[in-house]
Amino acid sequence: MTIVNLIRLTRFAAPLLAAAFAWPLPIAAETAIHLRLDRKIDGPAAPFFVAIDRGYFKAEGLDVTVDAAGADPQDAIKLLTTARYDLAVSDINPLIELRDQAATAIKAVFVVFDKPPAAIIARKSRGIAAPSDLAGKMLAAPSSEPASALWPIFAKLNNIDTGQVRVESVGLPVRDPMLASGEVDAITGCAFTSYIDLKERGVPRDDLIVWLMADYGVELYGDVIMASENFAAEKPEALRGFLRAYVKALKETVRDPGSAIETVLRRSDGAKRETELERLRMAIAENIVTPALRTGGFGAVDPARFATALDQLSLTYRFKSKDKASESFDPSFLPPAAERSISNTASR
């Protein structure tokens, strides 16, 4: 090719090259994440929707979808073994047992409830004022609800003879109505769910007594964010980005629950603002912002406490390997401690 022809070709190609580089480059697609809750969409779920509505997930390059639980709250763990869900919120203790049985490789990556909301809710009018008063009484305990699994541990730690308590395994939908109607004397349940729902059913506030199991010696953790094995292995940066966004939204929820609850009301038809706000504030005060969290920050576990929790689980469950069970929580995806600090996060 002659120099003249090369010059002519360059003159012809230059505008085409300029146009090609001026054309907008395709925007990278957001990573889709599907998360499953272990309850209906209620007040304590607000941080997930705050992160969606205020664009915190989007800023991390994530497109997050959140689904409510089905009939069985513990389905959340089972569904992580399918390709349908990447993350789930559920109680950590069934996960610990499943991992010990080599039934799953799923791990917890963030503690949502530092103190579990598992509780005994009783009626004073049934002659109950202290845990020891449960002797001779009837306790409704749905097998699908995490608190029922903790009842034997609570009983052993508080010297309650379970042989003297009549425990009825009932369906989750009928548990609260049975206590409200007086068919049973007490129930196991989630404090911020059953206590508030019972008041909504007309049970007088001063007739209800709530014993958080965590206030009576139970050292176990509660709900955690869990990641499927494939998601954690294949998209670790997306998982880290999810937790960064969630922590930011969680802090804002703690700081201003009144504003955060609006994100829930937009997604829960028929929900009452006052009811869900009370539920959220109760969860923040009793389950999320705990003395331990003020030291360790959001999301982490304390190794010594976790070891104690495993010892307590062993009161009712025979471990194959406690060492293996201790690996149920993976802290490697957590944001740095400074980002998880609770400082300047006072609720109002």
pTM above 0.85, yes or no: yes
Domain end residue (candidates: 216, 247, 277): 216
Residues 182 and 167 in one domain: yes
Residues 225 and 324 in one domain: yes
- Please work out, in degrees rounded to the nearest 5, the angle formed at the alpha carbon of residue 260 by the alpha carbons of 269 and 274: 55
What's the pLDDT at 346? 56
The verdict on residue 345 lying in a domain is no
Domain containing 261 — which CATH number? 3.40.190.10
Do the beta carbons of residue 107 and residue 227 sit within 8 Å? yes
Four-residue CA torsion sign, 238, 63, 287, 345: positive
Domain end residue (candidates: 182, 216, 250): 216
The verdict on residue 261 lying in a domain is yes
> Of 242, 223, 221, whose CA–CA distance to 231 is shortest?
242
Residues 129 and 233 in one domain: no
Residues 90 and 78 in one domain: yes
The verdict on residue 22 lying in a domain is no
The verdict on residue 143 lying in a domain is yes
Task: Write out pLDDT tens, residues 210-241.
Answer: 999 999 999 999 999 999 999 999 999 999 99
The verdict on residue 93 lying in a domain is yes
Residues 192 and 260 in one domain: no
Domain end residue (candidates: 169, 194, 216): 216
The verdict on residue 249 lying in a domain is yes
pLDDT grade, residue 72 (50/70/90)? confident
Residues 81 and 94 in one domain: yes
For the chain, the average pLDDT equals 90
DSSP per-residue string spanning 162-194: GGGSEEE---HHHHHHHHHHTSSSEEEEEHHHH
Calpha distance 49→55 (Å, rounded): 10
User: What is the number of domains present in the chain?
Assistant: 2
Residues 179 and 322 in one domain: no
List the structure tokens of 114: 């530092």
SS3 content of the chain, % helix, strand, coil (to 5): 50, 15, 35
Q: Give the strands of the sheet with 118-123, arranged side by side.
A: 166-168, 138-140, 186-190, 118-123, 208-212
Residues 198 and 111 in one domain: no
Q: What is the extent of the structural domain holding 57?
A: 31-115+221-340
Do the beta carbons of residue 135 and residue 161 sit within 8 Å? yes
Looking at 7-16, 205-214, 253-262, 287-296, which range is the least confident one? 7-16
Mean pLDDT of 138-143: 94
Q: Answer whether residue 122 shows pLDDT above 80.
A: yes
What's the pLDDT at 347? 55
Strand ranges (DSSP E) for the chain?
A: 31-36, 62-67, 87-91, 107-111, 118-123, 138-140, 166-168, 186-190, 208-212, 223-227
The verdict on residue 331 lying in a domain is yes
List the structure tokens of 77: 């763990």
What's the pLDDT at 26? 42
List the structure tokens of 315: 């009161």
Task: Write out pLDDT tens, residues 316-335.
Answer: 999 998 877 889 999 999 99
Q: Answer whether residue 2 shows pLDDT above 80.
A: no
